[in-house]
Structure 1
Amino acid sequence: MPTNDETLLLHLNEAIATIRDKDSLFKVVTTKLRLIFPFDLIGINVFDEEVQQKRLFLRDYYGVDEAPPLPPGADYFSPIAGSPIEKLVADPRVQQFTPQQYLADYPEYAAYKKMTHLGITHLTAVPLHIAGRLTGFMTLASRRTPHFTAADEKLLEKIGSLIAIAVANTLAFEEVARREQERTLQLNITNALLSIKQREPLFRAVAEALSQVVRFDYFGLRVQRAGRQEPFEGFAEFARSAESPDAPLLALDPNRQHGLNQLDTSAMYQQLNELLQNPGLFAADDFRAQAQRYPLLRHVYEEYGTRAMLIVPIWQRPDGAAVLMLASPNPTAFRPEDLATVVSLAPQIALALENLFAFEQIEELKAQVEEERTYLVGEINTSARFGADSGTFIGSSPALQLVERRISLVAPTDTTVLISGETGTGKELVARELHNASPRRARALIKLNCAALPAQLIESELFGHEKGAFTGAVERRIGKFELANGGSIFLDEIGELPLDLQAKLLRVLQEREFERLGGTKVLHSDARVIAATNRVLADEVAAGRFRADLYYRLNVFPIELAPLRERREDIEPLLRHFIQRLSKRLGKPIRQVRPTDLAALQAYSWPGNIRELEHVLEQAIIVSQGPFLEFAGFAGAPLLAAAPAAQVAMTIKTLKEQERDHILAALQQTGGRVSGAQGAALLLDINPKTLEARMKKLGIRRMVGVG
């Protein structure tokens, strides 16, 4: 008949062989064990293979209403050296001692202090061996003195060997379960990668799947990309909505600054960068130490009660970095196994980031190409060019040659160019030539006339808007700067830009960044800026209508276009060009210009410059019937009515006189009205402000009583 000792060993063997659940197994083990060796507390520490690290595997109190909480970090590996366990490891046998004996050498050891507080007076340590290898220690603690015989110690040694096997089996089962969890997690993440293409839903799925294996209250994926102002952008961030570990994860604003409104987060992340280089688990006292060292961790420690953080770099490379951070207010939330789990997922998360970057870039390029196509179709349908079909200028005057030379010098660079000249002198043609001769010619030249839109719409045209940004914004629209990324943007009539938008334009020129109306995301544009104006911007700056800092940013490389009256030798080749092109477009035969008409056209002051010349010829081509072009409907027709060239020469006035007469004739015809649908500016085809400037220069006053 077996003895009590043998019966106990048989029961323990049976339990170890048949029970797989850790809690159930050790409930049976401790219950049977207490029948032979009464104790009030049992604790089992397990060691790593090198017997350098220890971890608390099991702790149970008996006869205590509320067991004290585990010391921070007790359930994951910590060094044996410096703890009372090192004495047991040095002499691995069944031995008895009191808490006071160990407190003499380890006065700060919290576990023994708590035992003393609970009235524990004696401890029995039992080594756990498997095949002669020390794998841990079991400690039995009691409030009364146990009296062990030599036979009892032998029995405890045998029990220690059985419990060592039970612990090893349990750990093996836990490892199998953990790996199965990891495989399930990796499968879930792979499925998400294959089915989800949007940033927030994808990483919410990753965070939710990860939370089934690792318990956390904050999930943050932060990315650093080359060319960005901020060191790390909040790529995906989620947090628990309540204290419950089962509370749903709520998405956080990726552009938020962690509440650091007055603090320099860029500098903080740069300081933290050294900590983000390697995987790490920081908890309890260790995390508090890091919080004292790094201001950003101190902020989350104080403001959010964070007491544990797990950091896993996703990638570190020249074009940027990515790091995953999990955080919790529970100092014992993370274990080394959790760190290993997240590290094993890093390649999949890196792949998810790569896929998303590629997908977002494709979507952005698709939207940009579509916008560019729509824009170019509109340009083809509405724009007309003043130069030849080949894109070259018409004429050979010194003034035109100077312009062509300056274009050839600046076109290969990315330098900002300011084109100035009267209305109709061909500023857009110069912009096109600059773009076509530049390395950016494969992309579009995007243009915006700052005088053609109401002030409230110019910002949307320049920078775009988000859906709902203002009444009528029914969908997101990208702006001209976004559309011109990689190409050139031509800002015509820049002098008409309102002052508040001048400041925003200055930011784009300086920082190459902007936001859409109604948006918070900072966008970047690599667009070469070409601006044009018919105003004297230096005078506008002096008058306070144009920002001086913007003027100097624009006026890096000025190109000034001479008016047509200052390059009369170009009029005849321009005539030939326009007659050929317009006759073909209008389906009219090519007619010649009488020598007398040519002389008069060359003598005319052309306040509307090349544009006015084109319009005069178009009108003449339409109305003419005979072999020659007829200019009877032209506002300057009296000049063309003179017959012989000699008489024309006799009646030619100075350019100033001719221009004055022409403007007065237009004012007479419009009743003195300068602007508006019935104004002289429309009749002369020039900007009203340009006309007013010419009138002031020529001493022409407005007629009293008219608009």
Structure 2
Amino acid sequence: MPTTDETLLLHLNEAIATIREKDKLFKAVTTKLRLIFPFDLIGINVFDETLQYKRLFLRDYYGVDEMPPLPEGMEQFSPIAGTPIEVLVADPRVRQFTPQEYMRNYPNYAPYNKFEKLGVTHLTAVPLHIGGRLTGFLTLASRRNPNLTPADEKLLEKIGSLIAVAVANTLAFEEVARREQERTLQLNITNALLSIKQREPLFRAVAEALSQVVAFDYFGLRLQRAGRQEAFEGFAEFSRPSEAPGAPLQALDPDRRNGINQPDTSTMYQQMNELLQTPGLYTADSFRALAQRYPFLRRVYEEHGTRAILIAPIWERPDGAAVLILASPNPTAFRSDDLATVLALTPQIALALENLFAFEQIEALKAQVEEERTYLVDEINTSARFGADSGAFVGSGPALQLVQRRISMVAPTDTTVLISGETGTGKELVARELHNASPRHARALIKLNCAALPAQLIESELFGHEKGAFTGAVERRIGKFELANGGSIFLDEIGELPLDLQAKLLRVLQEKEFERLGGTKVLHSDARVIAATNRVLADEVAAGRFRADLYYRLNVFPIELAPLRERREDIEPLMRHFIQRLSKRLGKPVRQVRPDDLAALQAYSWPGNIRELEHVLEQSIIVSQGQFLEFAGFAGAPLMMAATAAPVVPAAVPIKTMKEQERDHILAALQRTGGRVSGAQGAALLLDINPKTLEARMKKLGIRRTVAVE
């Protein structure tokens, strides 16, 4: 017997010294133990340093056809108090007893419920000591009495010390391997950080890297970001098919009917905010308790069979939050080591996310700068063609002084301004002056004529669109509100905006947020809104053509521009301003205006206001040859002459309405262009309005092209 004992101890020492893999080591240990001690089950529990928590380190069965499933929670540290092991810890020595004796005061202890089914009749507990410190217990179970002698118990004590060393070595090697895996995973995530610049591939790379060290069936990354141009709240989700445990992770469809991303997911997550802010591991009973407390977890418990989750907050700060969630239908899928591993990797994940968002922001800014550059080039070309300064602030009349005072009062603020006035009174130039005098003058003033585009394209112009949002949308395009972020946006002819878009514009005014057409991301725009209209919006509201709530949002600070016929004292300075500027641009000498022509210009009603005056003078400069400007032969000339000859209209002659004046003005332009509406020689260019707008006005006024050219 002594020789056999010494041989056994020698073999155990050799195994401990040469074998480092846990399974191989304890296969050798149990094989050699069975040569002397008959047993059908072996189990090793290890304790923490405080002897308050235990964890099942190893179990093995012999002579059992089917190994029973591991009881819930056994692979994780759990309290020793309230279990039969506390009796062993209180008196750590080799002990023999029956299961009934062992569980006399613990009849409901789950790990031993199957002993009776397995036919186990005897248990032997062996303490594991290292340097006099208790580190765990070895338990041998058998279907027959091993009849151990005191010498056998003494040998088991020595074997227990050897096994304690083996367990400690294995745990140390596992820790080294775990740290090596962590370093490898950190390197993989860092490589992903450096090479992957798109969300879905980056999230997938992080999920795949994590799956190499932590077993899970569901990976979820919840992100919230606010306070910048883009507000983002969403989920990156991947799962592994249950029927294929080794298969690659698959991205989950965010619109699946019975999945995690139900419409009320955000609300459910908000209810769990406190839970998600703290690292946690919830398995078996602890997860079941959470599922009873939180509706969202109850859903995944019932509908997806989830039985364990691991929560690892990545960041929680004023501008948003990020949290990583792993889940599994296996109630013992995660251990405390897994949580420690994931938490050790969260700095790399956070850095990867920040790098991703920074790259996306750079790309967005590059796109915005490019769009802004293109827009400004078009603006420069337009200004060079039509003149950046059309004389809106030339003159000193009381009406103009009032406008200038109101501009100086509101320009330094971010208040929404509504400019109203007839066509050609200089509403766009007032908007430009408001922007230039504001703190936003370093950024662009973005302009959009709401009557210049078909209704189906206005939304895309305002808010942008994603690739594939509609036929012809071959790439993403940012809209005017996104382009105007940090600057100002001028919405001309706002009264022409369709009712459905009025609601979306109201949202931007109220919340400063919108989505691109075909997109789901909420974007923010800090753009100062300046709107203009030649309609009486209060009348449009009464007629049901304009939303009352939008009208009140726009009409915060109104600026009304008087028509030129009410500013006759400004006609002469405006005329001299235009003559100087237009003559220089056209390469013509500066000619004088006859007194009679000046009187006619001042007496004329100018239905087209300042714009019409500018165009009349431009045409006169082009055709004039002598010392004076010639105005004869133009459509407005007879009206000008009539105004000079009879400036006071007799009461018996009815005064034309503005609608009639507008109709006559358009007819005169069509007469001069031979009925042509668009193009270089068209009436739209002459009247300085969009051809589509002119066609809409003609249709509204009942003007046909055939009538115009007769």
Secondary structure of 1:323's aligned partner: strand
| Alignment correspondent of 1:698 | none
Question: How many residues in Structure 1 have an aligned counterpart in Structure 2?
Answer: 698
- For residues 169-195 of structure 1, the C-alpha deviation after alignment (integer angstroms, 9 at most, x for no partner) is 111111111111111111212222222
Q: Which has the higher contact order (CA 8 A, sep 6+)?
A: 2
| Aligned residue runs from structure 1 range 39-78, under 5 A | 39-78=39-78
Relative distance call for 1:315 and 1:516 in structure 2 (3 A) is same
Partner Cα distance (1:104, 1:675) in 2: 108
Relative distance call for 1:250 and 1:690 in structure 2 (3 A) is closer
Relative distance call for 1:633 and 1:691 in structure 2 (3 A) is farther
- For residues 564-599 of structure 1, the C-alpha deviation after alignment (integer angstroms, 9 at most, x for no partner) is 001111111111111111011000111111111111
Aligned-pair CA distance for 1:317: 2.4
Aligned-pair CA distance for 1:287: 1.0
Aligned-pair CA distance for 1:92: 0.3
- For residues 523-572 of structure 1, the C-alpha deviation after alignment (integer angstroms, 9 at most, x for no partner) is 22121111111111122222222222222222222111110001111111
Partner Cα distance (1:229, 1:289) in 2: 40
Aligned-pair CA distance for 1:690: 11
Are the counterparts in 2 of residues 463 and 482 from structure 1 also a CA contact under 8 Å? yes
Relative distance call for 1:558 and 1:656 in structure 2 (3 A) is farther
**2:225 aligned with 1:246:** no
Unaligned runs of 5+ in 1: 696-700
Partner Cα distance (2:242, 2:57) in 1: 30
| Alignment correspondent of 1:413 | 413
More displaced stretch, 390-399 vs 578-587: 390-399
Partner Cα distance (1:665, 1:396) in 2: 28
Aligned-pair CA distance for 1:54: 0.7
| Aligned residue runs from structure 1 range 299-448, under 5 A | 299-383=299-383, 393-448=393-448
Secondary structure of 1:126's aligned partner: strand
Secondary structure of 2:289's aligned partner: helix
Are the counterparts in 1 of residues 232 and 521 from structure 2 also a CA contact under 8 Å? no
More displaced stretch, 683-692 vs 52-61: 683-692
| Aligned residue runs from structure 1 range 528-547, under 5 A | 528-547=528-547
| Alignment correspondent of 2:94 | 94
Secondary structure of 1:531's aligned partner: strand
Partner Cα distance (1:204, 1:661) in 2: 66
Partner Cα distance (2:223, 2:449) in 1: 38
Secondary structure of 1:35's aligned partner: coil
- Tell me the amino acid that sits aligned with residue 221 of structure 1: L
- For residues 609-628 of structure 1, the C-alpha deviation after alignment (integer angstroms, 9 at most, x for no partner) is 00000000000100111111
Are the counterparts in 2 of residues 234 and 254 from structure 1 also a CA contact under 8 Å? no
Aligned-pair CA distance for 1:663: 6.1
User: What is the root-mean-square deviation in Å for CA atoms of aligned residues?
Assistant: 3.2
Secondary structure of 1:3's aligned partner: helix
Are the counterparts in 1 of residues 290 and 297 from structure 2 also a CA contact under 8 Å? yes
Aligned-pair CA distance for 1:237: 2.4
More displaced stretch, 109-118 vs 445-454: 109-118
Partner Cα distance (1:287, 1:333) in 2: 12
Partner Cα distance (1:390, 1:420) in 2: 17
Sequence identity (%) = 82
Aligned-pair CA distance for 1:689: 9.9
| Aligned residue runs from structure 1 range 1-150, under 5 A | 3-150=3-150
- Tell me the amino acid that sits aligned with residue 312 of structure 1: A
- Relative to the length of structure 2, the TM-score reads 0.91
- Tell me the amino acid that sits aligned with residue 144 of structure 2: R
Aligned-pair CA distance for 1:606: 0.1
Are the counterparts in 2 of residues 464 and 516 from structure 1 also a CA contact under 8 Å? yes
Are the counterparts in 2 of residues 422 and 690 from structure 1 also a CA contact under 8 Å? no
- Tell me the amino acid that sits aligned with residue 269 of structure 1: Y
Partner Cα distance (2:545, 2:436) in 1: 32
| Aligned residue runs from structure 1 range 117-266, under 5 A | 117-227=117-227, 233-234=233-234, 236-253=236-253, 259=259, 264-266=264-266
- For residues 418-456 of structure 1, the C-alpha deviation after alignment (integer angstroms, 9 at most, x for no partner) is 111111011101111111111211111111111111112
Aligned-pair CA distance for 1:350: 1.4
Aligned-pair CA distance for 1:104: 2.6
| Alignment correspondent of 1:506 | 506
Are the counterparts in 2 of residues 672 and 706 from structure 1 also a CA contact under 8 Å? no
Partner Cα distance (1:196, 1:689) in 2: 51
- Tell me the amino acid that sits aligned with residue 554 of structure 1: L
- Relative to the length of structure 1, the TM-score reads 0.92
Partner Cα distance (1:600, 1:362) in 2: 58
Are the counterparts in 2 of residues 215 and 333 from structure 1 also a CA contact under 8 Å? yes
More displaced stretch, 240-249 vs 275-284: 240-249
- Tell me the amino acid that sits aligned with residue 536 of structure 1: V
Are the counterparts in 1 of residues 603 and 640 from structure 2 also a CA contact under 8 Å? no
Partner Cα distance (1:362, 1:323) in 2: 24
| Aligned residue runs from structure 1 range 550-629, under 5 A | 550-629=550-629
| Alignment correspondent of 1:636 | 636
Unaligned runs of 5+ in 2: none
- For residues 39-72 of structure 1, the C-alpha deviation after alignment (integer angstroms, 9 at most, x for no partner) is 1111110111221111101111111111111111
Aligned-pair CA distance for 1:241: 3.5
- Tell me the amino acid that sits aligned with residue 15 of structure 2: A
- For residues 80-132 of structure 1, the C-alpha deviation after alignment (integer angstroms, 9 at most, x for no partner) is 11111110000000111222123331121012221122111211101011111
